[in-house]
Copies of this chain bind each other. A is one copy, B any other.
Amino acid sequence: MKIDEVSKQLGLTKDTLRYYEKLGLIYAVPKSASGVREYDDLAIEHIKFIICMRNTGLTLKQIKNYIDLYNQGEQTHDERLEILNAQRQYVIEQITTLNESLEFLEYKIARYHNQKN
Contact = CB atoms under 8 A, between A and B. Distances in A.
A-side interface mostly: helix
A56 B55 CA distance: 14
How many copies the complex holds: the figure is: 2
A109 B84 contact: yes
Closest 10 CB pairs between A and B? A88-B105, A81-B112, A56-B101, A91-B102, A95-B98, A84-B109, A55-B101, A52-B101, A55-B97, A91-B98
12 contacts: A52-B101, A53-B101, A55-B97, A56-B101, A84-B108, A85-B109, A91-B101, A91-B105, A92-B102, A94-B98, A95-B95, A95-B99
Interface of A: 52-53, 55-56, 77, 80-81, 84-85, 87-88, 91-92, 94-95, 97-102, 104-106, 108-109, 112-113, 117
